[in-house]
């Protein structure tokens, strides 16, 4: 009887693990809800290496079409790399989940934060 009880418990544990792993395997298949944005121009702020920076994000037809770095105190030469590359990637991929620019990580992150701040205002 003891062997049978252990076998049942082991079987239940195995079945439970299969259920958990099956659900976790399906999780990537469940799409995240798509956020839609109201058309307009929105300002957002983020924290760069040398303090706060501000961007303006233009939304047209629910998509980001333009991002402009309006105000900052970042080091000349470094912020331009981040500004050009990060903004270009955000616009191409329509997400702030893009790579930071090496050597300008904090500026890159600040730009992404500022865009995210503006997008929160634009969310429907």
Supply the mean pLDDT for the chain: 84
What percent of the chain is modeled with pLDDT above 70? 73
* Any domain includes 35: no
Give residue-wise pLDDT tens across range 54-89. Answer: 999 999 999 999 999 999 999 888 789 889 999 999
User: Is 7 inside a domain boundary?
Assistant: yes
pLDDT greater at residue 109 or residue 20:
109
Same domain for 48 and 22: no
Residues with Cβ within 8 Å of 108's Cβ and at least 6 positions away in sequence, in order, are 82, 85, 86, 99, 100, 101
| Host domain of residue 25 | 1-30
CATH code: domain of residue 45: 3.90.1010.20
Same domain (yes/no): 8, 47: no
pLDDT-derived band at 26 (thresholds 50, 70, 90) equals low
Residues 6+ apart with CB under 8 A from 96: 90, 112, 115, 116, 119
Q: What is the number of structural domains in the chain?
A: 2
**Residue 35 pLDDT level (bands cut at 50, 70, 90):** confident
Whether 69 and 109 map to the same domain: the answer is yes
């Amino acid at each position: 009887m003891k062997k049978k009880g252990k076998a049942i418990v082991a079987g239940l544990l195995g079945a439970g693990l299969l259920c958990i792993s099956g659900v976790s395997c399906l999780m990537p298949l469940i799409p995240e809800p798509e956020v839609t944005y109201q058309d307009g121009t929105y300002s957002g702020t983020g924290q760069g290496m040398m303090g706060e920076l501000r961007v303006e994000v233009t939304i047209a037809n629910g998509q980001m079409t333009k991002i402009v770095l309006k105000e900052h105190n970042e080091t000349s030469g470094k912020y331009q790399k981040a500004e050009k590359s990060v903004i270009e990637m955000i616009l191409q991929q329509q997400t702030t989940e893009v790579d930071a620019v090496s050597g300008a990580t904090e500026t890159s992150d600040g730009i992404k934060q500022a865009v995210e701040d503006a997008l929160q205002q634009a969310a429907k």
